[in-house]
Structure 1
Amino acid sequence: MTNSRMNPKVDEFLSNAKKWKEEYEKLRNIVLDCELTEEFKWMHPCYTFEKKNIVLIHGFKEYCALLFHKGALLQDAHGILIQQTENVQAARQIRFTNVQEIIEMETILKAYIYEAIEVEKAGLEVNFKKNTEFIIPEELQNKFDEIPALKTAFEALTPGRQREYILYFSKAKKSKTRESRVEKCMQKILNGKGLNDCTCGLSQKQPYCDGSHKYIR
Protein backbone atom coordinates (compact mmCIF):
# COMPACT_ATOMS: atom_id res chain seq x y z
CA MET A 1 0.00 0.00 0.00
CA THR A 2 1.33 3.45 -0.93
CA ASN A 3 0.20 6.91 0.13
CA SER A 4 -0.59 7.73 -3.50
CA ARG A 5 -3.45 5.25 -3.37
CA MET A 6 -5.08 6.96 -0.41
CA ASN A 7 -7.98 9.27 -1.15
CA PRO A 8 -7.71 12.65 0.65
CA LYS A 9 -11.46 12.60 1.34
CA VAL A 10 -11.05 9.34 3.23
CA ASP A 11 -8.16 10.89 5.18
CA GLU A 12 -10.53 13.68 6.21
CA PHE A 13 -13.27 11.17 7.09
CA LEU A 14 -10.89 9.29 9.37
CA SER A 15 -9.53 12.42 11.02
CA ASN A 16 -13.09 13.49 11.88
CA ALA A 17 -14.23 10.07 13.08
CA LYS A 18 -15.35 10.21 16.71
CA LYS A 19 -15.91 6.48 16.95
CA TRP A 20 -14.37 3.39 15.33
CA LYS A 21 -11.35 5.39 14.11
CA GLU A 22 -8.82 2.65 14.85
CA GLU A 23 -11.12 0.03 13.35
CA TYR A 24 -11.68 2.13 10.21
CA GLU A 25 -7.95 2.57 9.72
CA LYS A 26 -7.28 -1.16 10.01
CA LEU A 27 -10.10 -2.01 7.61
CA ARG A 28 -8.75 0.61 5.19
CA ASN A 29 -5.30 -0.97 5.22
CA ILE A 30 -6.73 -4.43 4.61
CA VAL A 31 -8.87 -3.32 1.70
CA LEU A 32 -6.09 -1.31 0.07
CA ASP A 33 -3.82 -4.35 0.29
CA CYS A 34 -6.31 -6.01 -2.07
CA GLU A 35 -5.44 -3.48 -4.80
CA LEU A 36 -8.83 -1.77 -4.92
CA THR A 37 -9.35 1.90 -5.80
CA GLU A 38 -10.20 4.07 -2.81
CA GLU A 39 -13.09 6.46 -3.33
CA PHE A 40 -15.45 8.40 -1.10
CA LYS A 41 -19.12 7.76 -1.80
CA TRP A 42 -22.28 8.24 0.25
CA MET A 43 -20.15 9.95 2.91
CA HIS A 44 -18.07 6.80 3.52
CA PRO A 45 -14.89 5.13 2.22
CA CYS A 46 -15.85 2.99 -0.77
CA TYR A 47 -13.57 0.67 -2.71
CA THR A 48 -14.01 -0.17 -6.37
CA PHE A 49 -12.68 -2.46 -9.07
CA GLU A 50 -12.83 -1.01 -12.59
CA LYS A 51 -15.37 1.56 -11.32
CA LYS A 52 -17.60 -1.17 -9.84
CA ASN A 53 -18.41 -0.91 -6.13
CA ILE A 54 -16.92 -3.81 -4.17
CA VAL A 55 -16.95 -2.92 -0.49
CA LEU A 56 -17.71 0.02 1.76
CA ILE A 57 -16.59 0.85 5.30
CA HIS A 58 -19.21 2.22 7.66
CA GLY A 59 -20.12 2.34 11.31
CA PHE A 60 -23.10 2.52 13.61
CA LYS A 61 -23.62 2.90 17.34
CA GLU A 62 -23.09 -0.77 18.19
CA TYR A 63 -20.69 -1.87 15.46
CA CYS A 64 -18.63 -0.95 12.42
CA ALA A 65 -18.63 -3.06 9.29
CA LEU A 66 -17.43 -3.94 5.84
CA LEU A 67 -20.39 -3.81 3.48
CA PHE A 68 -20.12 -5.98 0.36
CA HIS A 69 -22.32 -4.50 -2.36
CA LYS A 70 -23.01 -7.92 -3.89
CA GLY A 71 -22.53 -9.90 -0.70
CA ALA A 72 -25.53 -12.09 -1.49
CA LEU A 73 -23.47 -13.67 -4.27
CA LEU A 74 -20.54 -14.62 -2.03
CA GLN A 75 -20.15 -18.19 -0.82
CA ASP A 76 -19.72 -17.03 2.79
CA ALA A 77 -17.57 -20.02 3.72
CA HIS A 78 -17.25 -18.83 7.32
CA GLY A 79 -20.89 -17.86 7.83
CA ILE A 80 -20.07 -14.30 8.84
CA LEU A 81 -22.11 -12.26 6.34
CA ILE A 82 -25.11 -10.43 7.78
CA GLN A 83 -28.21 -9.22 5.94
CA GLN A 84 -28.78 -5.78 7.44
CA THR A 85 -32.59 -5.97 7.16
CA GLU A 86 -34.91 -8.52 5.57
CA ASN A 87 -35.54 -6.13 2.66
CA VAL A 88 -31.87 -5.77 1.68
CA GLN A 89 -31.42 -8.03 -1.33
CA ALA A 90 -27.83 -7.59 -2.49
CA ALA A 91 -25.60 -6.13 0.23
CA ARG A 92 -24.16 -8.05 3.16
CA GLN A 93 -22.09 -6.91 6.15
CA ILE A 94 -19.26 -8.31 8.23
CA ARG A 95 -19.53 -6.62 11.60
CA PHE A 96 -16.93 -5.76 14.22
CA THR A 97 -17.01 -4.34 17.73
CA ASN A 98 -13.27 -3.87 18.27
CA VAL A 99 -10.03 -3.69 16.30
CA GLN A 100 -8.74 -7.02 17.63
CA GLU A 101 -11.56 -8.84 15.84
CA ILE A 102 -10.45 -7.24 12.60
CA ILE A 103 -6.80 -8.14 13.15
CA GLU A 104 -7.67 -11.77 13.84
CA MET A 105 -9.89 -11.98 10.74
CA GLU A 106 -7.54 -10.21 8.31
CA THR A 107 -6.81 -13.30 6.18
CA ILE A 108 -10.50 -14.21 6.01
CA LEU A 109 -11.51 -10.64 5.15
CA LYS A 110 -9.05 -10.51 2.29
CA ALA A 111 -10.39 -13.81 0.97
CA TYR A 112 -13.92 -12.39 0.97
CA ILE A 113 -12.73 -9.22 -0.77
CA TYR A 114 -10.91 -11.20 -3.46
CA GLU A 115 -14.03 -13.33 -3.95
CA ALA A 116 -16.11 -10.16 -4.34
CA ILE A 117 -13.66 -8.94 -6.98
CA GLU A 118 -14.04 -12.24 -8.86
CA VAL A 119 -17.82 -11.81 -8.75
CA GLU A 120 -17.40 -8.49 -10.58
CA LYS A 121 -14.91 -9.92 -13.04
CA ALA A 122 -17.42 -12.63 -13.90
CA GLY A 123 -20.14 -10.03 -14.44
CA LEU A 124 -22.50 -11.67 -11.95
CA GLU A 125 -25.63 -9.78 -10.93
CA VAL A 126 -28.04 -10.18 -8.03
CA ASN A 127 -31.43 -11.45 -9.13
CA PHE A 128 -33.57 -8.78 -7.52
CA LYS A 129 -37.14 -9.56 -6.62
CA LYS A 130 -39.30 -7.40 -8.86
CA ASN A 131 -41.91 -5.09 -7.43
CA THR A 132 -44.55 -6.90 -9.46
CA GLU A 133 -44.00 -9.85 -7.13
CA PHE A 134 -45.27 -7.73 -4.24
CA ILE A 135 -49.02 -7.36 -3.89
CA ILE A 136 -50.16 -3.74 -3.61
CA PRO A 137 -52.30 -3.46 -0.47
CA GLU A 138 -55.98 -2.78 -1.06
CA GLU A 139 -55.76 0.36 1.07
CA LEU A 140 -53.05 1.80 -1.18
CA GLN A 141 -54.92 0.85 -4.35
CA ASN A 142 -58.04 2.59 -2.99
CA LYS A 143 -56.04 5.79 -2.58
CA PHE A 144 -54.67 5.39 -6.09
CA ASP A 145 -58.25 5.19 -7.39
CA GLU A 146 -59.29 8.17 -5.28
CA ILE A 147 -56.24 10.32 -6.06
CA PRO A 148 -54.74 9.59 -9.51
CA ALA A 149 -51.87 11.99 -8.81
CA LEU A 150 -50.77 9.73 -5.94
CA LYS A 151 -50.56 6.75 -8.28
CA THR A 152 -48.55 8.81 -10.76
CA ALA A 153 -46.17 9.99 -8.04
CA PHE A 154 -45.76 6.45 -6.67
CA GLU A 155 -44.93 5.03 -10.10
CA ALA A 156 -42.32 7.79 -10.54
CA LEU A 157 -40.42 6.57 -7.47
CA THR A 158 -37.44 4.28 -7.86
CA PRO A 159 -38.23 0.54 -7.63
CA GLY A 160 -36.47 0.37 -4.26
CA ARG A 161 -38.60 3.16 -2.79
CA GLN A 162 -41.78 1.59 -4.17
CA ARG A 163 -40.81 -1.72 -2.60
CA GLU A 164 -40.15 -0.12 0.80
CA TYR A 165 -43.59 1.47 0.86
CA ILE A 166 -45.36 -1.72 -0.23
CA LEU A 167 -43.62 -3.79 2.43
CA TYR A 168 -44.24 -1.18 5.11
CA PHE A 169 -47.95 -0.97 4.36
CA SER A 170 -48.35 -4.73 3.98
CA LYS A 171 -46.73 -5.59 7.31
CA ALA A 172 -49.63 -4.08 9.24
CA LYS A 173 -52.06 -6.86 10.16
CA LYS A 174 -55.17 -4.67 10.45
CA SER A 175 -56.73 -2.82 7.54
CA LYS A 176 -57.24 0.26 9.71
CA THR A 177 -53.51 0.36 10.46
CA ARG A 178 -52.59 -0.11 6.79
CA GLU A 179 -54.94 2.71 5.85
CA SER A 180 -53.42 4.96 8.51
CA ARG A 181 -49.90 4.22 7.26
CA VAL A 182 -50.90 5.03 3.68
CA GLU A 183 -52.47 8.33 4.70
CA LYS A 184 -49.42 9.36 6.74
CA CYS A 185 -47.10 8.62 3.81
CA MET A 186 -49.16 10.22 1.05
CA GLN A 187 -47.47 13.62 1.18
CA LYS A 188 -44.00 12.06 1.11
CA ILE A 189 -44.98 10.04 -1.96
CA LEU A 190 -46.39 13.13 -3.65
CA ASN A 191 -43.13 14.92 -2.86
CA GLY A 192 -41.16 12.15 -4.54
CA LYS A 193 -39.59 10.98 -1.28
CA GLY A 194 -38.88 7.44 -0.12
CA LEU A 195 -40.17 6.03 3.16
CA ASN A 196 -36.88 6.60 4.97
CA ASP A 197 -35.41 9.53 3.05
CA CYS A 198 -33.43 12.00 5.13
CA THR A 199 -32.77 15.66 4.52
CA CYS A 200 -29.35 14.61 3.24
CA GLY A 201 -31.06 12.87 0.31
CA LEU A 202 -30.06 9.41 1.48
CA SER A 203 -32.11 6.66 3.04
CA GLN A 204 -31.57 5.56 6.62
CA LYS A 205 -32.46 2.03 5.49
CA GLN A 206 -29.43 2.08 3.24
CA PRO A 207 -25.95 1.62 4.62
CA TYR A 208 -24.81 5.00 3.41
CA CYS A 209 -26.58 7.22 5.95
CA ASP A 210 -25.36 7.19 9.53
CA GLY A 211 -28.79 8.08 10.87
CA SER A 212 -27.74 11.46 12.27
CA HIS A 213 -29.99 13.38 9.92
CA LYS A 214 -33.47 14.61 10.66
CA TYR A 215 -36.27 12.67 9.05
CA ILE A 216 -38.37 14.41 6.43
CA ARG A 217 -41.89 14.34 7.81
Structure 2
Amino acid sequence: MEKEKTVEAYLTKNENWRNELEKLRAILLRTELTEAIKWGIPTYMAHGKKILAMGAFKHHVALWFHNGVFLKDEKNVLINANEEKTRGLRQWRFASADEIDADLVYRYVLEAIQNQKEGKEIKPESKKISMPVELKEALDTDKELKSEFFALSPGKQKEYAEFIGSAKQESTRNTRLEKCKPIILTSKGLHEKYRK
Protein backbone atom coordinates (compact mmCIF):
# COMPACT_ATOMS: atom_id res chain seq x y z
CA MET A 1 0.00 0.00 0.00
CA GLU A 2 1.38 3.37 -0.99
CA LYS A 3 1.82 5.81 1.88
CA GLU A 4 -0.18 9.00 1.80
CA LYS A 5 1.84 11.97 0.57
CA THR A 6 -0.46 14.81 1.61
CA VAL A 7 -2.95 15.52 4.35
CA GLU A 8 -5.61 16.01 1.67
CA ALA A 9 -4.93 12.49 0.37
CA TYR A 10 -5.23 11.17 3.94
CA LEU A 11 -8.58 12.96 4.39
CA THR A 12 -9.86 11.59 1.09
CA LYS A 13 -8.82 8.08 2.06
CA ASN A 14 -10.71 8.46 5.36
CA GLU A 15 -13.83 10.09 3.91
CA ASN A 16 -16.12 8.59 6.60
CA TRP A 17 -14.17 10.59 9.26
CA ARG A 18 -13.46 13.63 7.12
CA ASN A 19 -15.58 16.11 9.15
CA GLU A 20 -13.90 15.11 12.42
CA LEU A 21 -10.41 15.17 10.92
CA GLU A 22 -10.97 18.56 9.29
CA LYS A 23 -12.31 20.00 12.56
CA LEU A 24 -9.24 18.78 14.44
CA ARG A 25 -6.92 19.95 11.68
CA ALA A 26 -8.42 23.46 11.75
CA ILE A 27 -7.69 23.66 15.49
CA LEU A 28 -4.11 22.46 15.04
CA LEU A 29 -3.40 24.88 12.22
CA ARG A 30 -4.37 27.82 14.48
CA THR A 31 -1.15 27.14 16.41
CA GLU A 32 2.51 27.42 15.47
CA LEU A 33 2.62 23.72 14.58
CA THR A 34 3.83 22.65 11.16
CA GLU A 35 2.03 19.85 9.37
CA ALA A 36 3.59 16.90 7.56
CA ILE A 37 2.79 13.33 6.67
CA LYS A 38 4.98 10.94 8.63
CA TRP A 39 4.38 7.20 8.79
CA GLY A 40 1.38 7.78 6.51
CA ILE A 41 -0.52 10.01 8.97
CA PRO A 42 -0.82 13.76 9.61
CA THR A 43 1.86 14.71 12.14
CA TYR A 44 2.32 18.10 13.79
CA MET A 45 5.67 19.48 14.90
CA ALA A 46 7.21 22.52 16.53
CA HIS A 47 10.90 23.41 16.63
CA GLY A 48 11.79 20.14 14.88
CA LYS A 49 10.06 17.97 17.49
CA LYS A 50 6.95 15.83 17.06
CA ILE A 51 4.16 17.18 19.26
CA LEU A 52 1.16 15.17 18.12
CA ALA A 53 -0.48 13.29 15.29
CA MET A 54 -4.05 12.53 14.27
CA GLY A 55 -5.58 9.50 12.69
CA ALA A 56 -8.77 7.72 11.78
CA PHE A 57 -9.66 4.30 13.10
CA LYS A 58 -12.65 2.01 12.72
CA HIS A 59 -14.70 3.45 15.60
CA HIS A 60 -13.06 6.81 16.30
CA VAL A 61 -10.57 9.46 15.31
CA ALA A 62 -7.75 10.27 17.68
CA LEU A 63 -5.12 12.80 18.54
CA TRP A 64 -2.07 11.34 20.16
CA PHE A 65 0.34 13.50 22.03
CA HIS A 66 3.89 12.16 21.79
CA ASN A 67 4.74 13.36 25.31
CA GLY A 68 1.16 13.47 26.57
CA VAL A 69 2.19 12.03 29.92
CA PHE A 70 3.29 15.57 30.87
CA LEU A 71 -0.11 17.13 30.13
CA LYS A 72 -2.16 18.08 33.19
CA ASP A 73 -5.27 16.42 31.68
CA GLU A 74 -7.64 18.19 34.07
CA LYS A 75 -10.65 16.90 32.09
CA ASN A 76 -9.35 13.32 32.21
CA VAL A 77 -9.74 12.79 28.45
CA LEU A 78 -6.37 11.17 27.67
CA ILE A 79 -5.74 7.45 27.67
CA ASN A 80 -2.69 5.25 27.48
CA ALA A 81 -3.56 2.84 24.68
CA ASN A 82 -0.92 0.27 25.66
CA GLU A 83 -0.03 0.24 29.36
CA GLU A 84 2.75 -2.36 28.98
CA LYS A 85 4.73 -0.54 26.28
CA THR A 86 3.71 3.11 26.13
CA ARG A 87 5.52 5.49 28.45
CA GLY A 88 4.86 8.99 27.12
CA LEU A 89 2.21 8.74 24.40
CA ARG A 90 -1.38 9.63 25.28
CA GLN A 91 -4.48 9.45 23.04
CA TRP A 92 -7.63 11.52 22.93
CA ARG A 93 -10.42 9.74 21.07
CA PHE A 94 -13.51 11.20 19.42
CA ALA A 95 -16.44 9.15 18.08
CA SER A 96 -18.09 12.14 16.38
CA ALA A 97 -17.51 15.79 15.48
CA ASP A 98 -19.90 16.79 18.29
CA GLU A 99 -17.44 15.39 20.86
CA ILE A 100 -14.69 17.78 19.71
CA ASP A 101 -14.59 20.80 22.03
CA ALA A 102 -12.43 23.16 19.94
CA ASP A 103 -11.42 25.39 22.86
CA LEU A 104 -10.45 22.47 25.06
CA VAL A 105 -8.47 20.75 22.30
CA TYR A 106 -6.72 24.06 21.58
CA ARG A 107 -5.71 24.44 25.26
CA TYR A 108 -4.29 20.91 25.38
CA VAL A 109 -2.33 21.51 22.17
CA LEU A 110 -0.88 24.79 23.48
CA GLU A 111 0.15 23.04 26.69
CA ALA A 112 1.84 20.28 24.66
CA ILE A 113 3.76 22.89 22.65
CA GLN A 114 4.80 24.69 25.85
CA ASN A 115 5.94 21.40 27.42
CA GLN A 116 8.13 20.78 24.38
CA LYS A 117 9.63 24.27 24.66
CA GLU A 118 10.44 23.52 28.31
CA GLY A 119 12.18 20.30 27.27
CA LYS A 120 9.67 17.93 28.84
CA GLU A 121 10.06 14.69 26.95
CA ILE A 122 10.62 11.04 27.61
CA LYS A 123 13.92 9.95 26.18
CA PRO A 124 14.07 6.48 24.62
CA GLU A 125 15.76 3.97 26.86
CA SER A 126 18.89 2.55 25.35
CA LYS A 127 18.75 -1.20 25.63
CA LYS A 128 21.97 -2.97 26.44
CA ILE A 129 22.99 -5.44 23.77
CA SER A 130 23.31 -9.01 24.98
CA MET A 131 26.67 -9.98 23.54
CA PRO A 132 27.23 -13.71 22.89
CA VAL A 133 30.51 -15.05 24.30
CA GLU A 134 31.81 -16.00 20.85
CA LEU A 135 31.31 -12.48 19.48
CA LYS A 136 32.79 -10.86 22.59
CA GLU A 137 35.90 -13.04 22.37
CA ALA A 138 36.31 -12.29 18.65
CA LEU A 139 36.05 -8.55 19.29
CA ASP A 140 38.57 -8.76 22.14
CA THR A 141 41.14 -10.52 19.95
CA ASP A 142 40.64 -8.63 16.66
CA LYS A 143 41.09 -4.85 16.94
CA GLU A 144 39.95 -4.11 13.39
CA LEU A 145 36.79 -6.19 13.84
CA LYS A 146 36.12 -4.47 17.16
CA SER A 147 36.59 -1.01 15.64
CA GLU A 148 34.25 -1.76 12.72
CA PHE A 149 31.66 -3.42 14.95
CA PHE A 150 31.39 -0.50 17.37
CA ALA A 151 31.30 1.97 14.46
CA LEU A 152 28.00 0.34 13.40
CA SER A 153 24.71 1.73 14.69
CA PRO A 154 23.36 0.13 17.87
CA GLY A 155 20.60 -1.49 15.80
CA LYS A 156 23.11 -3.16 13.47
CA GLN A 157 25.21 -4.29 16.42
CA LYS A 158 22.09 -5.83 17.95
CA GLU A 159 21.26 -7.65 14.68
CA TYR A 160 24.67 -9.34 14.70
CA ALA A 161 24.56 -10.16 18.42
CA GLU A 162 21.08 -11.66 18.18
CA PHE A 163 21.85 -13.60 15.00
CA ILE A 164 24.98 -15.19 16.47
CA GLY A 165 23.59 -15.61 19.98
CA SER A 166 20.27 -17.16 18.93
CA ALA A 167 21.95 -20.37 17.74
CA LYS A 168 21.52 -23.18 20.28
CA GLN A 169 24.78 -24.98 19.58
CA GLU A 170 28.21 -23.48 20.06
CA SER A 171 29.35 -24.82 16.67
CA THR A 172 26.49 -22.99 14.95
CA ARG A 173 27.30 -19.77 16.82
CA ASN A 174 30.93 -20.06 15.68
CA THR A 175 29.86 -20.74 12.07
CA ARG A 176 27.58 -17.71 12.11
CA LEU A 177 30.34 -15.57 13.60
CA GLU A 178 32.74 -16.57 10.82
CA LYS A 179 30.12 -15.68 8.19
CA CYS A 180 29.47 -12.31 9.85
CA LYS A 181 33.09 -11.17 10.24
CA PRO A 182 33.63 -10.18 6.56
CA ILE A 183 30.30 -8.34 6.50
CA ILE A 184 31.15 -6.42 9.67
CA LEU A 185 34.52 -5.47 8.17
CA THR A 186 32.67 -3.83 5.24
CA SER A 187 30.79 -1.61 7.73
CA LYS A 188 27.46 -3.09 6.73
CA GLY A 189 24.53 -4.40 8.72
CA LEU A 190 23.70 -8.09 8.70
CA HIS A 191 20.66 -7.72 6.45
CA GLU A 192 21.80 -4.68 4.47
CA LYS A 193 22.09 -6.53 1.18
CA TYR A 194 18.34 -7.18 1.33
CA ARG A 195 17.43 -3.53 1.90
CA LYS A 196 16.90 -1.03 -0.88
Q: TM-score range by the shorter chain?
A: 0.5 to 0.7
Q: CA deviation at 1:72?
A: 1.0
Q: Which residue of 2 aligns with 1:84?
A: 81
Q: Which residue of 1 aligns with 2:111?
A: 115
**How far apart in 2 are the matches of 1:131 and 1:115?**
31
Q: Which residue of 1 aligns with 2:68?
A: 71
Do structure 1's residue 98 and structure 2's residue 96 form an aligned pair?
yes
Corresponding residue to 1:16 among 3, 13, 17: 13
**How far apart in 1 are the matches of 2:110 and 2:103?**
11
Q: CA deviation at 1:35?
A: 2.5
Instruction: Write the deviation string for residues 169-198 of structure 1: whole angstroms up to 9, x where unpaired.
Output: xxxxxxxxxxxxxxxxxxxxx979xxxxxx
Larger radius of gyration: 2
Single out whichever of 11-20 and 86-95 deviates more from structure 2: 11-20
SS at match of 1:108: helix
Structure 2 letter corresponding to 1:73: F
Q: CA deviation at 1:60?
A: 1.2
1:73 to 1:158, Cα distance in 2 relative to 1, 3 A: farther
Q: CA deviation at 1:70?
A: 0.7
Q: How does 1:15-164 map to 2 (within 5 A)?
A: 15-86=12-83, 87-102=85-100, 105-126=101-122, 131=127, 156=155
**How far apart in 2 are the matches of 1:107 and 1:91?**
22
Note the residue ranges of structure 1 that are not aligned, 5 or more in a row.
Answer: 1-7, 137-143, 149-154, 160-189, 193-217
**How far apart in 1 are the matches of 2:65 and 2:122?**
12
Note the residue ranges of structure 2 that are not aligned, 5 or more in a row.
Answer: 137-153, 159-189
Structure 2 letter corresponding to 1:42: W
Single out whichever of 84-93 and 13-22 deviates more from structure 2: 13-22
Q: Which residue of 2 aligns with 1:205?
A: none
Structure 2 letter corresponding to 1:92: R
Structure 1 letter corresponding to 2:98: Q
1:191 to 1:16, Cα distance in 2 relative to 1, 3 A: same
Instruction: Write the deviation string for residues 90-142 of structure 1: whole angstroms up to 9, x where unpaired.
Output: 1111000000101xx1111111100110111111221556656xxx9xxxxxx
State the aligned residue count: 146
1:25 to 1:157, Cα distance in 2 relative to 1, 3 A: farther
SS at match of 1:19: helix
CA contact (8 A) 2:14 2:56 kept: no
Identity of aligned residues (%): 34
CA contact (8 A) 1:89 1:128 kept: no
**How far apart in 2 are the matches of 1:35 and 1:22?**
22
TM-score by length of 1: 0.56
Q: CA deviation at 1:76?
A: 1.1
> Which aligned segments of 4 or more residues in structure 1 are displaced greater than 6 angstroms?
none
